[in-house]
Amino acid sequence: MPRFEPHPQRRPALVAGASSGIGAATAVLLAAAGHPVALGARRTDRCEEIAETIRKDGGEAVAHPLDVSDSGSVDRFVSAAAAALGDPEIVVSGAGDLGAERVHELASDDFAAQLQVHLVGAHRLVSRVVPGMVARRRGDVVLVSSDVVRAPRTRMGAYVAAKNGVEGMARALQMELEGTGVRASVVRPGPTMTGMGMGWDAETTGEVLEEWVRWGLARHPYFLRAEDVAAVVAAVVAAPRGTHLTLVEVQPEAAVARPPASGPPPASGAAGAAPAPVPEVER
């Protein structure tokens, strides 16, 4: 007899931050795997466009407004998703945005606002969804973090603090859920090509990238694609019951270098490497 019942074939999934980036790519990939998906974000029109594409491709998807900084909005989103698709088996928390202020120049209210979205928003989803999962003795919670936890970046102090909080909360949650049948996992993307940070003006972007290069945060110019990270999220939730991928860091692979035709090997630390982009979250 197996130690665990297998995953149900149909696993309703909630994706927060699903209007673009990693969230949108994750919703599409989970739907392609046969899971009904509820897409939530403040840009409901964009979520509905993605949901319509999923439905045209034969999947099952609904869109509903979601602002993770508002407990009432989280309650309405989860209730609407459950009514349309059934009790959630998967929840992916990836909503958020990003500023470019230095810690000492950032107003405390703005600092707190980023914590509200990235950290407290993730907790709102967890506290609303996980008790039902525990009662049903199964489920997957995926918290999208960032490699800034391991390698902090300048001009991202509130984001760095929030993501450290997310991973600390996740570790405590993992300990508390042990033996319940519910898995909490962290997916930690490195530099990812998304819309985050694209609203910065050219001067700010240049300053930020120069600071990151100075601190050694740029190894090569290649970025992850949103669908690359989504594939890891899908793999985490598809892992057979009885296994638990607690933390998966995803980094972009550098291009395979061609050996020189002749002459000495190139010196290490070649100049001109593009700096790393903004790590992903939002959406």
Mean pLDDT value of segment 89-106? 90
Mean pLDDT value of segment 27-31? 98
pTM for the model stands at: 0.88
Q: Check pLDDT > 50 for residue 259.
A: yes
CA distance 148 to 42: 25
Coil/strand/helix, residue 276: coil
1 lies in a domain?
no
Tens digit of each residue's pLDDT (9 = 90 or more) over 213-248: 888 777 777 889 999 999 999 999 999 999 999 999
Per-residue pLDDT at 277: 46
Q: What share of the chain in percent tops pLDDT 90?
A: 71
39 lies in a domain?
yes
Q: Check pLDDT > 60 for residue 81.
A: yes
Per-residue pLDDT at 269: 37
175 lies in a domain?
yes
Say which of 77, 159, 212, 223 is annotated catalytic: 159
Burial class (CB in 10 A: 0-12, 13-18, 19+), 245: middle
Write the single-letter amino acid at 176.
Answer: E
Residue numbers of the domain that contains 216: 13-250
Question: Are 278 and 96 contacting, i.e. CB atoms less than 8 angstroms apart?
Answer: no
Mean pLDDT value of segment 126-131? 98
277 lies in a domain?
no
Question: Are 19 and 42 contacting, i.e. CB atoms less than 8 angstroms apart?
Answer: yes
Q: Is 222 an annotated catalytic residue?
A: no
152 lies in a domain?
yes
Structurally, the chain folds into a number of domains equal to 1
Mean pLDDT value of segment 271-283? 41
CA distance 224 to 226: 7
Mean pLDDT value of segment 160-169? 97
Instruction: Give the E-state strand segments of 24-153 in sequence order.
Output: 37-41, 61-65, 90-93, 139-144
Mean pLDDT value of segment 170-175? 98
Question: Are 153 and 197 contacting, i.e. CB atoms less than 8 angstroms apart?
Answer: no
166 lies in a domain?
yes
Per-residue pLDDT at 276: 44
CATH code for the domain in which residue 180 is found = 3.40.50.720
169 lies in a domain?
yes
Confidence grade of residue 271 (pLDDT, cut at 50, 70, 90): very low
2 lies in a domain?
no
